Amino acid sequence: MKNNTNFILPSQTSARKRTKNISAIERDLFVIDDKIKGIGNGRTYFVRTYGCQANFHDSETISGILEDLGYTKSDDIEKADLILLNTCAIRRNAEEKVLGEIGNLKKLKRNDPDKIIAMSGCMAQEEEMVTHILSKYPQVDLIFGTHNIYNLPKLLYHALLNKEKTVEVYSKEGDIVEALPVKRDNHHKAWVNISYGCDKFCSYCIVPYTRGKERSRHIEDILDEVRSLKDEGYKEITLLGQNVNSYGLDLRLDYGFSDLLREVAETGLDRIRFMTPYPSNFDDETIDVCARYKNIMPSIHLPLQSGNDEILFKMNRRYNSEEYRILFDKLKNKIDDCAFTTDIIVGFPNESDEAFDDTLKMVDHCKYDNAYTFIYSKREGTPAAKIEDHIDMKVKEERLQILNAKIAEYANMHNQKYQDQTTEVLVDGPSKKDKDVFAGYNPQGKLVNFTGHDIKEGDIIKVKITKAKSFSLDGEAIED
């Protein structure tokens, strides 16, 4: 392979910039030049995705582009002609997994130098990471960023046919690229982006640098996509954005998330979810819409991060514990039978025992159905990375255990309410462990494993719960 020809490297300084410009909507950026058409014919690809839903949905777009180029999907990483790792940078351990995987690919590349090894996603947006990969992992042929997906045909052409190591990572605020092909993994549940990027700049978080400025898709683009999914037979959609409920602010229209959610609900789709709301942007109109439309699922993910005001302030979260509690109570009172999940970080720099206790107190108040809990991970280039931390890792690990034990207790408490009750399940298909057992989710987002006859993926059926466990429910389908 030749070196150093097609290199646009990321820059954290540019990634931090924000202007007041309204992002451009690009509808004609995705083109496959004649010389590139069919470069995937007879070739296979393998994609491994790390991280959040936004990344999984990006992988569906990448798969759509590769299939337009003639590639066929393969589940065999060893045999695939193109291996792509779509990466996550949210915590150090996510990155270590990817680096380990890239290390493992060295042998495959040595045995088959024509194989293309590509990396995309949030790690590709990190300046130091890309330099590290270029110097330590020569087996990587192609690196492209979250803003460069539309250009994959050209980048692949350089890497594959010109045999040039290729890196293209823009760090600009970001446009909105429409009209990209998508190959969805699931035929009854779909993700729909409503906005990209994040402007919140929580002090610990790398996302505002890796995904650019917060920018909303046009209303009609979203509604058209939702309507087509419904026509294609999809039963459930999840509206995606880093902060769904600041949807529309950048468009400066008198139209916000509550309006969008109402219009999506009025399409009559069976099930609607959204991910992720930001507490202080959750307005009363949105709560009313959630309460009014029965096809908006009663399951809300409301990231807490910490229950302590000083830590929340240092995290640059724009609410305090009292405001969070008031919002939580309002949601709980207004939306019938709603389940709540959250994200919590323990061990933010210099978090005291008292501050951690405040988090536990908030968990006791909210009694979440489940939570994603993390030990703070230092992300270079973020403001929190500059704080000198005096808390021992052992203390942080102990806190995580204490927190997780509490979360499991409440998860179990909520699930016990389903014992001998009937709940409605959207069937995902046979469970991974046993093909006579089916799996799916109920409206509250609980995983249900159940037995039954004549059941198809995508059915919505009633299931009687026979055994409630902490993190899943077992049951039997009720035959009509």
Residue 90 binding result from ligand SF4, ligand 5AD, none, given CB thresholds of 5 to 8 Å by partner type? ligand 5AD
Judged by beta carbon, residue 65 or residue 327, the one nearer ligand 5AD is 327
Q: Does 396 contact ligand 5AD by CB under 6 A? A: no
SS3 for 218? Answer: coil
SS3 for 70? Answer: coil
Judged by beta carbon, residue 7 or residue 201, the one nearer ligand SF4 is 201
Token pair, residue 278, equals 């930001």
CB 145, CB 186: distance < 8 Å: no
Q: Does 389 contact ligand 5AD by CB under 6 A? A: no
Q: Does 205 contact ligand 5AD by CB under 6 A? A: yes
Q: Does 297 contact ligand 5AD by CB under 6 A? A: no
* The only residue of 55, 203, 210, 305 in contact with ligand 5AD, by rule CB under 6 A: 305
Residue 200 binding result from ligand 5AD, ligand SF4, none, given CB thresholds of 5 to 8 Å by partner type? ligand SF4
Token pair, residue 233, equals 């037979």
Judged by beta carbon, residue 190 or residue 198, the one nearer ligand SF4 is 198
DSSP letters spanning 345-368: EE--TT--HHHHHHHHHHHHHH--
Angstrom distance (rounded) from CA 232 to CA 181: 16
State the number of CA atoms in the 13 A half-sphere of 276 facing the CB.
17
Residue 198 binding result from ligand 5AD, ligand SF4, none, given CB thresholds of 5 to 8 Å by partner type? ligand SF4
Residue with tokens 């549940």: 189
Single out the segment in contact with ligand 5AD by CB under 6 A; choices: 327-335, 369-377, 400-408, 429-437.
369-377
Judged by beta carbon, residue 63 or residue 210, the one nearer ligand 5AD is 210
Instruction: Map the footprint of ligand 5AD across residues 330-349, applying CB under 6 A.
Output: 343, 345
| 436: number of Cβ within 10 Å | 9
| 16: number of Cβ within 10 Å | 14
Q: Does 39 contact ligand 5AD by CB under 6 A? A: no
Residue with tokens 């990471």: 129
Shortest distance in whole angstroms from residue 239 CB to ligand 5AD: 17
Judged by beta carbon, residue 47 or residue 345, the one nearer ligand SF4 is 345
Residue 299 binding result from ligand SF4, ligand 5AD, none, given CB thresholds of 5 to 8 Å by partner type? none
CB 306, CB 345: distance < 8 Å: yes
Angstrom distance (rounded) from CA 165 to CA 153: 15
Single out the segment in contact with ligand 5AD by CB under 6 A; choices: 8-16, 150-158, 288-296, 370-378.
370-378
Judged by beta carbon, residue 201 or residue 293, the one nearer ligand SF4 is 201
Q: Does 117 contact ligand 5AD by CB under 6 A? A: no
Single out the segment in contact with ligand 5AD by CB under 6 A; choices: 287-295, 376-384, 395-403, 469-477.
376-384
Query: Kindly report the CA angle at 431 between 427 and 437, in degrees rounded to 5?
Result: 85
Is the preceding peptide bond at 5 cis, omega within 30 degrees of 0?
Answer: no
Number of H helices, E strands in the chain: 13, 22
Shortest distance in whole angstroms from residue 208 CB to ligand 5AD: 11
Token pair, residue 266, equals 């009025």
Single out the segment in contact with ligand 5AD by CB under 6 A; choices: 114-122, 288-296, 374-382, 427-435.
374-382
Closest C-alpha to 241, from 271, 199, 205: 199
Binding stretches for ligand SF4 (CB under 6 A): 198, 200-202, 205, 207-208, 242-243, 278
Is the preceding peptide bond at 276 cis, omega within 30 degrees of 0?
Answer: yes
Residues in touch with ligand 5AD (CB under 6 A)? 90-91, 204-205, 303, 305, 343, 345, 374, 376-377, 379
